[in-house]
Structure 1
């Protein structure tokens, strides 16, 4: 880790169990084996934290396998569990950039923050007039653009219209212009179920069988 305070904190956490082992006055060989085990555990933690963007997909895949993930894929169906805040949040990949996005059937258009638009390389039409959008916090100004690819699990969509505004802060929203392309979407208890259409051709692009 390049973060000095963070590394010092992990080092302190390592010292505590090692000190406890020393206090137990175990045989030197046993204590050495246990100490090496703790060192290995913390080494893995340090590597995981420092490379979280690379290892996060593996953790999510493991969660899907164990059935404990907030988002799971079965065949071409995506299931998303309701969050503690009462909303459905999906792991979405926009132009190859992964973001946590709120699924909101009350939003007409998919909305993304300026940071997400920049990271995803979304071109904003600087010559276009700003669009006024009514939100829960009032009317805001936004620019229209296009997400070339928007993926949720095994559901793939191309050329989805989006609106971009700094007024969205860090929040990104999947709106009805995405949901309306699905074969169906519904809520079963605390789970949102998304099912794509098969073999649909949209915006002059042939999509894969699991595309919307």
Structure 2
């Protein structure tokens, strides 16, 4: 896949100018100082850029995010806090039966929905329901199967025996729906942060 560099054209231009600037800076002392400052600024900018786009590089960049305290998901006391992503949605880092996934939190979804790929990775027992499962989505009606996640973990929250629907129509998107949110003591949005509070604290360490 070819990366989209349009939004960072200025940064790439600066990187191209670095070799030329270095040659000039060797001859002019004041420019040497300015070049050194500019180099550090560019390095810092690159680091912040990579960390801000870390979902493309996970799990390797997550450790850097923790060290810089730039994580978008943190446990604070009894609460799990998730910052809004640049796309305007809340994405949670979740473990389903031992499989890590990045899931969209959607209070408009009645039930948690998983892609076929995720269901297979978690070795879920996917079955046809006795009554054909037909879901109404933004793209029309789709057929789905059902399964049960033995344990879903998000921060220090654990939801057990969580019913889910599975369909290839979901593509690679996994969604946390109201049947998960309703298991919490409370959930709310404050500013750009989604705050989830379980009924009781669980320590998985």
Q: Which runs of 5+ in 1 are unaligned?
A: 1-15, 27-40, 200-208
Using the alignment, how far apart are the partners of 1:78 and 1:127 within structure 2?
Answer: 33
Using the alignment, how far apart are the partners of 2:99 and 2:19 within structure 1?
Answer: 41
Using the alignment, how far apart are the partners of 1:188 and 1:196 within structure 2?
Answer: 17
Partner of residue 179, structure 2? 177
Using the alignment, how far apart are the partners of 2:198 and 2:132 within structure 1?
Answer: 32
Partner of residue 150, structure 2? 148
Aligned mate of 1:98, from 74, 97, 100 = 100
CA contact (8 A) 2:188 2:196 kept: yes
Partner of residue 63, structure 2? 58
TM-score, scaled relative to structure 1: 0.66
Using the alignment, how far apart are the partners of 2:203 and 2:133 within structure 1?
Answer: 32
The alpha-carbon deviation at position 85 of structure 1 amounts to: 2.4
Using the alignment, how far apart are the partners of 2:93 and 2:143 within structure 1?
Answer: 26
SS in 1 for 2:64: helix
Matched residue pairs, number? 184
The alpha-carbon deviation at position 168 of structure 1 amounts to: 0.6
Aligned mate of 1:197, from 181, 196, 199 = 199
SS in 1 for 2:120: helix
The alpha-carbon deviation at position 175 of structure 1 amounts to: 0.4
TM-score, scaled relative to structure 2: 0.68
Q: What's the CA shift string for 1:23-55, capped at 9, x where partnerless?
A: 8779xxxxxxxxxxxxxx9xxx9xxx9xx5553
Structure 1: 4+ residue segments shifted above 4 A:
16-26, 126-129
CA contact (8 A) 1:128 1:143 kept: no
